[in-house]
Chain A
């Protein structure tokens, strides 16, 4: 892996400024309250990298090749410490040159022209390694692009490489990758979250502009929160799953990371829509999100007047770090200041979601991972007889966490246990859907923390799976209900060299990503005094 990367030669190659306005990196206040305030009043709102790229390419201010080169060199510099990528494409520059040639010829450009995109390793990319960070698929190169990747390429986007993840999406730290541990750009001793930790960290570290992840129980949203980037989990069925290596088919969605709400939204727009290769993809119209991403100057004083926001009571009770709780409360106040009507709302079934999720996800995964048998592709251990071939290929190919979930799922689906586990979990799922429906009938959006804590230390929960699973409590219910949600940075808490980001989760009604993007964008653009560029970058620069 990473054969194309070289050790850093020079630190002067980082053109950080072009990609992000503020050079000033805020430092966490040394005193509590944990939610810190900053004196960086000069921090300007973050700008969309996709829109900036489009603007600067069209104006001739820069070229796609320059953008690609600067990102590749940033990858070279930061990757030895961060380890976000399992594979970096050899064709990035070539792709960028093609865009430049198109510009030179005056041809029309796709909306993602020149945009550098990281793709989670469980999303198939034709001819490029796609392993889901599992030994069982080591060196596997799919013969086709996932529909989402195909759409990105058609719109001019350039796939930078494949990002690290927990094996098959099973984990919340990216430590369960068979190949490497990714570090959090805010503090290299901490996890980036997971399972899409590589995609989140790569965007946070500006190694790429945006990235694709997948979210089965929070795998886009929780790492977004840990890395201080925007993570968007669309409605189930909004984006085709064709080419996404299945973990839990009824929960899996491909999601988007960006450093701004606008970037995540525009990437979502690019990959959304019905796909005849995925019978569970939806024929619902995909609205034009871009009009929501107005400049902050054009906003009135109460731009979100009348928007009803429900704070999910169960998510700000005990078990949630005080810093996270106060960041959420401050976010609620900020929304109120923007004109929202904020009330508390209760989801009585909330606590049932986590066990139901682990039963359903494990059950489906035990089935979905059966195809990795060493017979047709991937890791095969030669054996004298069939069961041995299965046993050795799977035994050596799968990691510990994957094996545990396959065993749990196999157990839950077994005759005599099905009713007690799988069927009951499905009943809980119905209950959770109903509760969300009721809450969303009363409110436009619901908010909660994205995770009970900020990023924790590498190794901290490695041997305590239950503690790690418990960290998914904020996000799994949304997957069970199939709803869209966005996580965006809302504050910093103490920790690391200069504070750790905390994300706010906004949950919307099915197929109403538009509202989430609108509220999220305005929230982001008006969140004064906070910047979410990790210090690692500032230090390197």
Chain B
């Protein structure tokens, strides 16, 4: 029933793209040059530093990097933040829109209460204080993917603030435990997407994403290396997945990280000039992009050209493995924030907060500490706790009485390999925790050999069934002490 202008997609032949970076001072959509070559972005491993030479190492030794991250998490609510449109990724352009998220005259936002719930959940999971009274504000700028000319966001009173997150650095990167501060978590809405024509003559607007709820997580500038930053981001992904508030998928843009980096000579208290990097579509890219930027800045410092480090936004180019200037900021953008008059304040009661807190699942950090206490090595701990489904599977196998180390080994080796080959998640396979526990018990008891166990395992993974059933059906019982059962 909506009658927009007569263009193929909603919106209009907008403008030519030439002079893009210099003319559009407001904002750029970070996803336009998506690089999608990461096989599994779930991998928590990041590439080691690409140290060019010993000389570079020496230069780098004199500087300290200061890194802060802004993470946007798209929430997996059924409907958008302020209207009843379905929140579906990948729909045909402009099919999931209504007068509200199109910004038609007279349309008003109505807050989806799930957004508040998810905000509170994430806030508590990040050890933040929740604001019992927060509000929405309008952040104003013009861009064709922003239908109302302002983004509904939270400015001075975010729903959560003052938290922290704990991460374990993998052993191959030096290991160790780190705590990074969380400045704030706030609720806001996503913008639409621009689709640029191949010729660059015009652009079209897809508003399916406009009004999709986001949580923005702002970290303290506590990270010091690409590895730390990537670990921080990867922990964010784990946490939102553990909480079930987002699928945390970086390729789809459900988890987006903008990184701010400055460096300073060791011992200096003041921060250096901050550079922002966008278009980081994988943790490995994040790590490499940061190390690239640190090196770039350190070399400029070292060559006496520190004045060439300017406040700017750089775009990471995965193909070229380097970053390029996207736009230089002339002073601070003025978003003219003011309280959103169309929405009432967000009031949380203490009971509500308590009930959210009580409903939180065991979070990755708690899981890791528990697994560690169970006697598992850090490599096992990190692997098992990385994916909430794997962790739940492991916990269920243990609950069925399987030995901890054996269960971990099976999951990390044969099962993991199978999942990788078949491109499946652990929830997709027919094997139940009960049967894995049985299998481990049968091998331990000597009923079957390890080799036979593997055969059975693959049967169970692919077709299901029970360990006992398969042993009988295939007559696989191992002769023990000459006796045949």
Q: Roughly how many angstroms separate A165 CA and B327 CA in the complex, as a whole number?
A: 43
B5 touches A377 (CB 8 A): yes
Q: Could you tell me the dominant secondary structure of chain A's interface residues?
A: loop
Q: Which one of A277, A363, A376 contacts B5 once the chains associate, using CB atoms below 8 Å? A: A376
Tell me the smallest distance from the CB of B157 to a CB of chain A, in Å. Answer: 15
- Count of interface residues, chain A, beta-carbon cutoff 8 Å: 54
Q: Which one of A141, A245, A366, A388 contacts B3 once the chains associate, using CB atoms below 8 Å? A: A141
Q: Which one of A137, A248, A375 contacts B105 once the chains associate, using CB atoms below 8 Å? A: A137
Q: Roughly how many angstroms separate A415 CA and B336 CA in the complex, as a whole number?
A: 6
Is B107 positioned at the interface, with any CB of A under 8 Å from its CB? yes
Tell me the smallest distance from the CB of A275 to a CB of chain B, in Å. Answer: 9
B2 touches A143 (CB 8 A): yes
A375 touches B106 (CB 8 A): no
B15 touches A386 (CB 8 A): yes
Chain A contacts for B107, CB-based, 8 A: 242-243
Interface string of B13-31 (1 = CB under 8 A from A): 1111011000110000000
B99 touches A144 (CB 8 A): yes
A385 touches B334 (CB 8 A): no
Chain B contacts for A19, CB-based, 8 A: none
Chain A contacts for B336, CB-based, 8 A: 366-367, 410, 413-415, 418
Chain A contacts for B4, CB-based, 8 A: 376-377
Residue of B nearest to A243 (CB): B106
Q: Which one of A280, A369, A376, A380 contacts B102 once the chains associate, using CB atoms below 8 Å? A: A376
Chain A contacts for B14, CB-based, 8 A: 375, 386, 389
Is A354 positioned at the interface, with any CB of B under 8 Å from its CB? no
Chain B contacts for A383, CB-based, 8 A: 15
Interface string of A366-393 (1 = CB under 8 A from B): 1101111111110010111111111000
Q: Roughly how many angstroms separate A366 CA and B341 CA in the complex, as a whole number?
A: 13
Is B147 positioned at the interface, with any CB of A under 8 Å from its CB? yes
Q: Which one of B16, B23, B149, B344 contacts A280 once the chains associate, using CB atoms below 8 Å? A: B344
Q: Roughly how many angstroms separate A383 CA and B4 CA in the complex, as a whole number?
A: 19
Is B12 positioned at the interface, with any CB of A under 8 Å from its CB? yes
Chain B contacts for A246, CB-based, 8 A: 105-106, 342
A382 touches B13 (CB 8 A): yes
Knowing A371-B147, A387-B23 are in contact, say whether A376-B338 is a contact too (CB < 8 A).
no
Interface string of B135-154 (1 = CB under 8 A from A): 00010101010011110000
Q: Roughly how many angstroms separate A415 CA and B337 CA in the complex, as a whole number?
A: 9
Is A124 positioned at the interface, with any CB of B under 8 Å from its CB? yes
Q: Roughly how many angstroms separate A75 CA and B51 CA in the complex, as a whole number?
A: 83
Tell me the smallest distance from the CB of A383 to a CB of chain B, in Å. Answer: 6
Tell me the smallest distance from the CB of A253 to a CB of chain B, in Å. Answer: 13
Chain A contacts for B341, CB-based, 8 A: 248-250, 280, 364
Chain B contacts for A280, CB-based, 8 A: 108, 341-344
Q: Could you tell me the dominant secondary structure of chain B's interface residues?
A: loop
Chain B contacts for A355, CB-based, 8 A: none
B150 touches A363 (CB 8 A): no
A249 touches B342 (CB 8 A): yes
Is B358 positioned at the interface, with any CB of A under 8 Å from its CB? no
Tell me the smallest distance from the CB of B375 to a CB of chain A, in Å. Answer: 53
Residue of A nearest to B2 (CB): A143
Chain B contacts for A373, CB-based, 8 A: 142, 144, 149
Residue of A nearest to B141 (CB): A370
Is B381 positioned at the interface, with any CB of A under 8 Å from its CB? no
Knowing A375-B11, A375-B144, A382-B13 are in contact, say whether A245-B105 is a contact too (CB < 8 A).
yes
Q: Which one of B16, B105, B205, B332 contacts A385 once the chains associate, using CB atoms below 8 Å? A: B16
Residue of B nearest to A364 (CB): B341
Q: Roughly how many angstroms separate A238 CA and B84 CA in the complex, as a whole number?
A: 24
Is B53 positioned at the interface, with any CB of A under 8 Å from its CB? no
Q: Roughly how many angstroms separate A417 CA and B434 CA in the complex, as a whole number?
A: 66
Is A36 positioned at the interface, with any CB of B under 8 Å from its CB? no
Q: Which one of A277, A370, A376 contacts B150 once the chains associate, using CB atoms below 8 Å? A: A370
> Which chain A residues in 207-260 approach chain B with CB under 8 Å?
241-246, 248-250
A390 touches B142 (CB 8 A): yes
Is A333 positioned at the interface, with any CB of B under 8 Å from its CB? no
Chain A contacts for B452, CB-based, 8 A: none
Best-surrounded residue of B2, B106, B147 (most CB of chain A within 10 A): B106
B108 touches A278 (CB 8 A): yes
Tell me the smallest distance from the CB of A215 to a CB of chain B, in Å. Answer: 16
Residue of B nearest to A375 (CB): B144
Chain A contacts for B109, CB-based, 8 A: 279
Tell me the smallest distance from the CB of B82 to a CB of chain A, in Å. Answer: 9
> Which chain B residues in 301-339 approach chain A with CB under 8 Å?
332, 334, 336-338
Q: Roughly how many angstroms separate A369 CA and B11 CA in the complex, as a whole number?
A: 18
B106 touches A371 (CB 8 A): no
B111 touches A415 (CB 8 A): no
Knowing A142-B106, A370-B149, A371-B147 are in contact, say whether A384-B16 is a contact too (CB < 8 A).
yes
Q: Roughly how many angstroms separate A280 CA and B342 CA in the complex, as a whole number?
A: 6
Is B34 positioned at the interface, with any CB of A under 8 Å from its CB? no
Q: Roughly how many angstroms separate A384 CA and B108 CA in the complex, as a whole number?
A: 32
> Which chain A residues in 302-318 approach chain B with CB under 8 Å?
none
Q: Which one of B10, B140, B332, B334 contacts A376 once the chains associate, using CB atoms below 8 Å? A: B10
Is A276 positioned at the interface, with any CB of B under 8 Å from its CB? yes
Chain A contacts for B11, CB-based, 8 A: 375-376
Knowing A376-B205, A383-B15, A422-B338 are in contact, say whether A370-B140 is a contact too (CB < 8 A).
yes
B12 touches A380 (CB 8 A): yes
Tell me the smallest distance from the CB of B22 to a CB of chain A, in Å. Answer: 10
Is A67 positioned at the interface, with any CB of B under 8 Å from its CB? no
Tell me the smallest distance from the CB of A417 to a CB of chain B, in Å. Answer: 10
Q: Roughly how many angstroms separate A374 CA and B11 CA in the complex, as a whole number?
A: 9
Chain A contacts for B10, CB-based, 8 A: 376
Q: Roughly how many angstroms separate A132 CA and B144 CA in the complex, as a whole number?
A: 23
Q: Which one of B16, B18, B150 contacts A367 once the chains associate, using CB atoms below 8 Å? A: B150
Q: Which one of B23, B103, B342 contacts A371 once the chains associate, using CB atoms below 8 Å? A: B103
Chain A contacts for B332, CB-based, 8 A: 415
Chain B contacts for A143, CB-based, 8 A: 1-3, 99, 104
Chain B contacts for A418, CB-based, 8 A: 336, 338
Chain A contacts for B360, CB-based, 8 A: none
Residue of A nearest to B25 (CB): A387
Knowing A382-B13, A384-B15, A410-B336 are in contact, say whether A140-B105 is a contact too (CB < 8 A).
yes
Q: Roughly how many angstroms separate A59 CA and B107 CA in the complex, as a whole number?
A: 41
Chain A contacts for B150, CB-based, 8 A: 367, 370
A279 touches B15 (CB 8 A): no
8 more contacts with CB within 8 A, not counting A371-B103, A374-B12, are A123-B106, A144-B106, A146-B106, A242-B108, A277-B108, A376-B5, A376-B11, A415-B334
List of 10 A-B pairs having minimum Cβ-Cβ separation, nearest first: A370-B149, A249-B341, A250-B341, A413-B336, A243-B106, A386-B15, A245-B105, A371-B103, A143-B1, A124-B106
**24 A-B contact pairs sorted by A residue (CB < 8 Å):** A132-B105, A140-B105, A142-B99, A142-B104, A142-B106, A143-B1, A243-B107, A245-B105, A246-B105, A249-B341, A277-B110, A279-B108, A279-B344, A280-B341, A367-B338, A371-B103, A375-B144, A377-B4, A385-B16, A385-B18, A385-B19, A386-B23, A386-B144, A388-B15
B residues sitting closer than 8 Å to A (CB atoms) are 1-5, 10-16, 18-19, 23-24, 99, 102-111, 138, 140, 142, 144, 147-150, 205, 332, 334, 336-338, 341-344
